[in-house]
Amino acid sequence: MSRLQVAIDGTAGAGKTTIGQMLAAQLECPYLDTGAMYRAVSLLALRTNTVLEDKDGLARLAKAMDFSTREATPAEAADGRQYTVMVDGEDVSQEVRSPEVEAIVSQVAAVPQVRSELVSKQREIAEQAGTIVMIGRDIGSVVLPDANLKIYLDASPEVRASRRVRQSGQLNAEQAKHGLEQRDRIDSQRTIAPLVIADDALYINTDNLSQDEVLAQVKAALAPLVD
Protein backbone atom coordinates (compact mmCIF):
# COMPACT_ATOMS: atom_id res chain seq x y z
CA MET A 1 0.00 0.00 0.00
CA SER A 2 1.57 3.30 -1.12
CA ARG A 3 -0.46 5.30 1.40
CA LEU A 4 -1.11 4.04 4.91
CA GLN A 5 -2.20 6.46 7.60
CA VAL A 6 -2.57 5.29 11.19
CA ALA A 7 -4.19 7.77 13.58
CA ILE A 8 -3.68 7.19 17.31
CA ASP A 9 -5.64 9.41 19.67
CA GLY A 10 -6.33 9.23 23.37
CA THR A 11 -5.86 10.68 26.80
CA ALA A 12 -2.54 11.87 28.19
CA GLY A 13 -0.50 9.02 29.66
CA ALA A 14 -2.48 6.26 27.94
CA GLY A 15 0.55 5.05 25.97
CA LYS A 16 0.14 6.80 22.62
CA THR A 17 3.77 7.82 22.25
CA THR A 18 5.22 4.42 23.05
CA ILE A 19 2.75 2.46 20.93
CA GLY A 20 3.03 4.93 18.06
CA GLN A 21 6.81 4.69 18.02
CA MET A 22 6.79 0.90 18.26
CA LEU A 23 4.33 0.63 15.37
CA ALA A 24 6.20 3.14 13.21
CA ALA A 25 9.43 1.23 13.77
CA GLN A 26 7.81 -2.01 12.63
CA LEU A 27 6.22 -0.32 9.61
CA GLU A 28 9.51 1.50 8.91
CA CYS A 29 7.63 4.75 8.39
CA PRO A 30 7.66 8.28 9.84
CA TYR A 31 6.12 8.98 13.23
CA LEU A 32 4.67 12.30 14.37
CA ASP A 33 3.56 13.24 17.88
CA THR A 34 1.36 16.27 17.21
CA GLY A 35 1.23 17.05 20.91
CA ALA A 36 4.89 18.01 20.71
CA MET A 37 3.95 20.67 18.16
CA TYR A 38 1.55 22.32 20.60
CA ARG A 39 4.18 22.05 23.31
CA ALA A 40 6.66 23.74 20.98
CA VAL A 41 4.30 26.67 20.42
CA SER A 42 3.77 26.88 24.19
CA LEU A 43 7.53 27.01 24.73
CA LEU A 44 7.90 29.75 22.14
CA ALA A 45 5.09 31.70 23.82
CA LEU A 46 6.94 31.53 27.13
CA ARG A 47 10.22 32.55 25.55
CA THR A 48 8.69 35.52 23.71
CA ASN A 49 6.40 36.58 26.55
CA THR A 50 3.39 36.10 24.30
CA VAL A 51 0.31 36.09 26.53
CA LEU A 52 -2.30 33.38 26.03
CA GLU A 53 -4.93 36.00 25.24
CA ASP A 54 -2.94 37.07 22.16
CA LYS A 55 -4.39 34.42 19.88
CA ASP A 56 -3.07 35.98 16.67
CA GLY A 57 0.38 36.22 18.22
CA LEU A 58 0.29 32.54 19.16
CA ALA A 59 -0.83 31.69 15.64
CA ARG A 60 2.13 33.61 14.19
CA LEU A 61 4.48 31.58 16.37
CA ALA A 62 2.86 28.36 15.14
CA LYS A 63 3.07 29.39 11.50
CA ALA A 64 6.66 30.58 11.62
CA MET A 65 8.27 27.78 13.62
CA ASP A 66 10.39 25.16 11.86
CA PHE A 67 9.39 21.95 13.65
CA SER A 68 10.69 18.41 13.27
CA THR A 69 11.30 15.27 15.30
CA ARG A 70 13.78 12.45 14.91
CA GLU A 71 14.86 9.29 16.66
CA ALA A 72 17.01 10.07 19.67
CA THR A 73 20.65 9.05 19.58
CA PRO A 74 21.83 6.80 22.44
CA ALA A 75 23.46 9.80 24.10
CA GLU A 76 20.27 11.85 23.82
CA ALA A 77 18.07 9.02 25.06
CA ALA A 78 20.11 8.92 28.25
CA ASP A 79 18.10 11.87 29.56
CA GLY A 80 14.87 9.89 29.29
CA ARG A 81 13.46 11.39 26.12
CA GLN A 82 11.48 9.15 23.76
CA TYR A 83 12.51 11.16 20.69
CA THR A 84 14.27 14.41 19.87
CA VAL A 85 12.25 17.57 19.19
CA MET A 86 13.83 20.26 17.04
CA VAL A 87 12.42 23.79 16.79
CA ASP A 88 14.14 26.31 14.55
CA GLY A 89 17.25 24.15 14.58
CA GLU A 90 17.41 23.84 18.38
CA ASP A 91 17.00 20.68 20.44
CA VAL A 92 14.14 21.51 22.83
CA SER A 93 13.26 17.97 23.86
CA GLN A 94 13.59 18.69 27.57
CA GLU A 95 12.11 22.18 27.51
CA VAL A 96 8.84 21.10 25.87
CA ARG A 97 8.28 18.67 28.76
CA SER A 98 8.88 21.26 31.47
CA PRO A 99 6.24 22.00 34.13
CA GLU A 100 5.90 25.52 32.72
CA VAL A 101 4.95 24.20 29.29
CA GLU A 102 2.74 21.51 30.82
CA ALA A 103 0.81 24.21 32.66
CA ILE A 104 -0.26 26.08 29.52
CA VAL A 105 -0.21 23.60 26.62
CA SER A 106 -3.91 22.73 26.82
CA GLN A 107 -4.82 26.41 26.71
CA VAL A 108 -2.55 26.99 23.73
CA ALA A 109 -3.98 23.93 21.99
CA ALA A 110 -7.50 25.30 22.47
CA VAL A 111 -6.75 28.43 20.41
CA PRO A 112 -8.51 27.99 17.02
CA GLN A 113 -5.90 30.02 15.14
CA VAL A 114 -3.09 27.84 16.50
CA ARG A 115 -4.93 24.64 15.67
CA SER A 116 -5.58 25.85 12.13
CA GLU A 117 -1.88 26.54 11.53
CA LEU A 118 -0.68 23.27 13.03
CA VAL A 119 -3.33 21.06 11.41
CA SER A 120 -2.19 22.42 8.05
CA LYS A 121 1.41 21.51 8.91
CA GLN A 122 0.35 18.06 10.12
CA ARG A 123 -1.60 17.28 6.95
CA GLU A 124 1.33 18.46 4.83
CA ILE A 125 3.68 16.15 6.73
CA ALA A 126 1.28 13.22 6.25
CA GLU A 127 0.90 13.95 2.54
CA GLN A 128 4.64 14.05 2.01
CA ALA A 129 5.20 10.88 4.02
CA GLY A 130 2.53 8.74 2.35
CA THR A 131 2.74 6.17 5.13
CA ILE A 132 2.78 7.60 8.64
CA VAL A 133 1.81 6.92 12.25
CA MET A 134 0.45 10.12 13.79
CA ILE A 135 -0.63 10.56 17.39
CA GLY A 136 -2.55 13.27 19.21
CA ARG A 137 -6.00 14.27 20.40
CA ASP A 138 -7.82 14.94 17.12
CA ILE A 139 -5.98 12.93 14.47
CA GLY A 140 -8.79 10.52 13.56
CA SER A 141 -11.55 13.08 14.03
CA VAL A 142 -10.01 16.18 12.40
CA VAL A 143 -6.46 15.95 11.06
CA LEU A 144 -6.70 12.65 9.16
CA PRO A 145 -10.43 11.79 9.04
CA ASP A 146 -9.79 9.34 6.19
CA ALA A 147 -6.96 7.49 7.98
CA ASN A 148 -6.81 3.78 7.15
CA LEU A 149 -6.80 2.84 10.82
CA LYS A 150 -7.92 4.84 13.84
CA ILE A 151 -6.99 3.85 17.38
CA TYR A 152 -8.11 5.44 20.65
CA LEU A 153 -6.01 4.60 23.71
CA ASP A 154 -7.29 5.23 27.21
CA ALA A 155 -6.50 4.35 30.81
CA SER A 156 -7.77 5.27 34.26
CA PRO A 157 -6.50 8.53 35.81
CA GLU A 158 -4.71 6.54 38.52
CA VAL A 159 -2.77 4.41 36.03
CA ARG A 160 -1.94 7.39 33.84
CA ALA A 161 -0.76 9.38 36.85
CA SER A 162 1.53 6.55 37.91
CA ARG A 163 3.05 6.45 34.43
CA ARG A 164 3.52 10.22 34.37
CA VAL A 165 5.31 10.14 37.73
CA ARG A 166 7.72 7.49 36.41
CA GLN A 167 8.34 9.53 33.27
CA SER A 168 8.83 12.93 34.88
CA GLY A 169 10.44 12.05 38.20
CA GLN A 170 9.25 15.49 39.34
CA LEU A 171 5.61 14.97 40.33
CA ASN A 172 3.91 12.93 43.01
CA ALA A 173 0.92 10.79 42.14
CA GLU A 174 -1.68 13.27 43.41
CA GLN A 175 -0.12 16.18 41.48
CA ALA A 176 0.06 14.09 38.32
CA LYS A 177 -3.53 12.88 38.66
CA HIS A 178 -4.83 16.42 39.20
CA GLY A 179 -2.90 17.71 36.19
CA LEU A 180 -4.13 14.91 33.93
CA GLU A 181 -7.75 15.34 34.98
CA GLN A 182 -7.52 19.07 34.40
CA ARG A 183 -6.04 18.50 30.97
CA ASP A 184 -8.70 15.90 30.11
CA ARG A 185 -11.37 18.44 31.04
CA ILE A 186 -9.87 21.21 28.91
CA ASP A 187 -9.19 18.92 25.94
CA SER A 188 -12.67 17.37 26.02
CA GLN A 189 -14.60 20.60 26.50
CA ARG A 190 -12.86 22.91 24.05
CA THR A 191 -15.08 24.05 21.20
CA ILE A 192 -12.52 23.44 18.45
CA ALA A 193 -11.40 19.84 17.78
CA PRO A 194 -12.18 18.43 21.23
CA LEU A 195 -10.81 15.11 22.40
CA VAL A 196 -13.35 12.56 21.15
CA ILE A 197 -13.42 8.93 20.10
CA ALA A 198 -13.91 8.77 16.34
CA ASP A 199 -16.92 6.66 15.37
CA ASP A 200 -14.74 4.20 13.45
CA ALA A 201 -11.86 4.03 15.97
CA LEU A 202 -10.74 0.91 17.82
CA TYR A 203 -10.95 1.70 21.56
CA ILE A 204 -8.29 0.09 23.76
CA ASN A 205 -8.09 0.51 27.54
CA THR A 206 -4.44 -0.02 28.47
CA ASP A 207 -4.86 -0.28 32.26
CA ASN A 208 -4.03 -3.97 32.52
CA LEU A 209 -2.14 -4.45 29.26
CA SER A 210 1.57 -4.50 28.59
CA GLN A 211 2.99 -2.45 25.73
CA ASP A 212 3.39 -5.62 23.68
CA GLU A 213 -0.24 -6.61 24.31
CA VAL A 214 -1.50 -3.20 23.19
CA LEU A 215 0.71 -3.32 20.11
CA ALA A 216 -0.61 -6.79 19.29
CA GLN A 217 -4.17 -5.50 19.25
CA VAL A 218 -3.21 -2.61 17.00
CA LYS A 219 -1.33 -4.88 14.61
CA ALA A 220 -4.28 -7.30 14.49
CA ALA A 221 -6.53 -4.43 13.42
CA LEU A 222 -3.93 -3.31 10.89
CA ALA A 223 -3.28 -6.73 9.37
CA PRO A 224 -6.23 -6.77 6.92
CA LEU A 225 -5.07 -3.42 5.54
CA VAL A 226 -1.51 -4.48 4.73
CA ASP A 227 -1.96 -8.06 3.58
pLDDT at 78: 87
Cα distances (angstroms) measured from residue 117 to each of 42, 50, 99, 104, 122: 14, 17, 24, 18, 9
| CA-closest candidate to residue 108, choices 181, 185, 51 | 51
Is the confidence at residue 37, as pLDDT, over 60?
yes
On whether residue 191 sits in a domain, the answer given is yes
On whether residue 223 sits in a domain, the answer given is no
Query: For 67-110, what is each residue's pLDDT tens digit?
Result: 999 888 899 888 888 889 999 999 999 999 898 998 899 899 98
On whether residue 226 sits in a domain, the answer given is no
Q: From CA 152, how far away is CA 150, in angstroms rounded?
A: 7
pLDDT at 7: 97
The model's confidence at residue 170, banded by pLDDT at 50, 70 and 90, is low
On whether residue 225 sits in a domain, the answer given is no
* DSSP string across 43-76: HHHHHHT--TT-HHHHHHHHHH--EEEEPPPHHH
Instruction: Identify which has the larger pLDDT, 108 or 190.
Output: 108
**Given strand 84-87, what is the order of strands in its sheet?**
67-70, 84-87, 90-91
On whether residue 178 sits in a domain, the answer given is yes
* DSSP string across the chain: ---EEEEEEE-TTSSHHHHHHHHHHHHT--EEEHHHHHHHHHHHHHHHT--TT-HHHHHHHHHH--EEEEPPPHHHHTTT-SSEEEETTEE-TTGGGSHHHHHHHHHHHT-HHHHHHHHHHHHHHHHHHSEEEEEESSIIIII-TT-SEEEEEE--HHHHHHHHHHHHSS--HHHHHHHHHHHHHHHHH-SSS-----TTPEEEE-TT--HHHHHHHHHHHHHHHH-
The model's confidence at residue 171, banded by pLDDT at 50, 70 and 90, is low
Lowest mean pLDDT among 13-22, 53-62, 105-114, 188-197: 188-197
The HSE-up count of residue 106 (CA atoms within 13 Å, CB side) is: 20
Instruction: Identify which has the larger pLDDT, 177 or 220.
Output: 220
Domain total for the chain?
A: 1
On whether residue 211 sits in a domain, the answer given is yes
Check: CB of residue 38 under 8 Å from CB of residue 118: yes
On whether residue 155 sits in a domain, the answer given is yes
What range defines the domain where residue 195 resides?
4-216
State the CATH number of the domain containing residue 27: 3.40.50.300
Cα distances (angstroms) measured from residue 51 to each of 23, 47, 58: 37, 11, 8
Q: For the chain, give the mean pLDDT.
A: 91
On whether residue 74 sits in a domain, the answer given is yes
Is the confidence at residue 40, as pLDDT, over 80?
yes
pLDDT at 144: 96
* Percentage of the chain lying above the pLDDT 70 cut: 97
pLDDT at 227: 67
